Amino acid sequence: MAESEMRVAASDLHLAFGETRALAGVDVAVRAGEAVALMGPSGSGKSTLLHCLSGVLVPDSGQIKLLGRPLGEMSEAERSAFRLRNVGMVFQFGGLVPELTLAENVTLPLQLVGTKARVAKARADELLDALGIGELGGHVAGTVSGGQAQRAAVARALAHGPAVLLADEPTGALDTVTGEVVLDQLLGLAGEMDTAVVVVTHDNRVAAHCDRIVTITDGRVLTPETVG
Amino acid sequence: MGIVVVMSTSKTLLALLESEPAHGYSLKHRYDTALGQPRKIGFGQIYNALASFEKRGLAEVESVEVEAGPARKRYRITAEGVEAVEDWLCTPEPPEAYASAALLTKVSVALLSGRDPQLVLTSQREAHMSRMRDLTEQRRGAGGAHLLAITYELSHLDADLRWIDESGQRLQQGRMSYG
């Protein structure tokens, strides 16, 4: 894989929390439009890796490049601004602001990067429509179902057209059928935007939606499975 | 007549006769398209089943079409056949705890012989994931019985994979030895 094709490229990442070795020489790369599942037992380091890739955690050593730019060479403020523009995040429990409407939740990241309110609202409506919950834009997040909230979380993560989408157990709180719909929508929209996707999951059926599976055990990548 | 015990493929064929009578060719088409089975059923199996149904009183010949070529018998289900179908549908399948017995045997043999059972688990995991990916793709365009057949297989593969993963973890933690 040529480096220029990569949206995310991590090499030889090491990170320890005290005596606990979380990452012990991890290499992983994801290209534009590709979806990669990160799998492994609890405590294997997969969520830690995801947070390193997002720039929230800083590894003790090794290098992470997002869009070819080394995160380690940025100040914390630069890294935060870079993440805001280029990375979308989806969490297991949505992480929406419960007092705001779904549309307001989706416009939030757009407004943080300076998008005009009218444009942000139109973008939110478009995405909520695409996810099949257009009629719920005015509903307060705390009052909708888990599946609807997770669709809104997907819309929020993709609203600014991120180069990279990082998802931590995005359907872990949903039943199988609802989770499958949300995942299809997430990967479908990300694919249209040519976004690189990394999904942390315990669920083999979620992993089967991805182009590739990277398995982590004890902070190391096992031989990655390569599939068409 | 009491309930006749027949194998599940035969029971499925009998059940497919219930909606309307059929001759062998149309029953094969109905089976292949309605159930979304990965393997098509052979004509020999169809005609053997129909002959068996007739012999056991579960189906009877409704008409015989004589055109060019051999005569074609058209079969319809009998009341006894409907009873057999109902009984089959209402009787739960025995839970099969060792459905993946071949894999379990291979892992056990690897442990017994001092080989690395992780290799067995890893190669099986890749084969299972590859099949899951194919099924996930097929699921997108599927509906009705075919969709249910796909999700049935997905669920079973998923259960196998969870066993593979758990076994891999236990082996790695050194908690497992043979015996």
Distance from CA of A208 to the nearest CA of B (A): 5
Q: Which of A147, A136, A137, A154 is nearest to A193 (CA)?
A: A154
Return d(Cα A100, Cα B168) in angstroms, integer.
Answer: 45
- Within 75-104 of A, beta carbons closer than 8 Å to B belong to none
**pLDDT score of B100 more than 70:** no
DSSP codes joined into one string, B109-178? HHHHTT--HHHHHHHHHHHHHHHHHHHHHHHTT--HHHHHHHHHHHHHHHHHHHHHHHHHHHHHTT----
Return d(Cα A30, Cα A66) in angstroms, integer.
Answer: 10
Contacts of B154 in chain A (CB under 8 A): 205, 208
Q: At what angle do helices B8-19 and B24-34 cross, to 10 degrees?
A: 100
| Residue-wise pLDDT tens digits, A129-170 | 999 999 999 999 999 999 999 999 999 999 999 999 999 999
- Tokens describing residue A55: 């720039």
* Plot region of B117 (φ>0 → left; ψ -120 to 50 → alpha; else → beta): alpha
Contacts of B156 in chain A (CB under 8 A): none
The pLDDT score that the predictor gives to residue B38 is 64
Place of tokens 């993440």: A83
Predicted ipTM > 0.85: no
**pLDDT score of B7 more than 60:** no
C-alpha R_g of chain A = 17
Indicate yes or no: CB of A205 within 8 angstroms of CB of B129: no
What are the start-end ranges of the E strands in B23-144?
59-65, 72-77
pTM for the model stands at 0.78
The pLDDT score that the predictor gives to residue B3 is 37
**pLDDT score of A225 more than 70:** no
- Is A205 near chain B, with CB under 8 Å? yes
Percent of chain B past pLDDT 70, that is, above it, reads: 85
Indicate yes or no: CB of B129 within 8 angstroms of CB of A207: yes
The pLDDT score that the predictor gives to residue B101 is 66
Of A211-215, A218-222, B53-57, the least confident: A218-222
- Is A175 near chain B, with CB under 8 Å? no
According to DSSP H, which parts of chain A are helical? 46-54, 76-86, 102-112, 117-130, 146-158, 176-192, 204-207
Indicate yes or no: CB of B158 within 8 angstroms of CB of A205: yes
- Is A208 near chain B, with CB under 8 Å? yes
| Residue-wise pLDDT tens digits, B133-146 | 999 999 988 888 88
- Tokens describing residue A158: 């993709």
Q: Go through chain A and tell me how many residues it has.
A: 228
Strand partners, A64: A10
Q: Which of A146, A158, A34 is nearest to A88 (CA)?
A: A158
**pLDDT score of A223 more than 90:** no
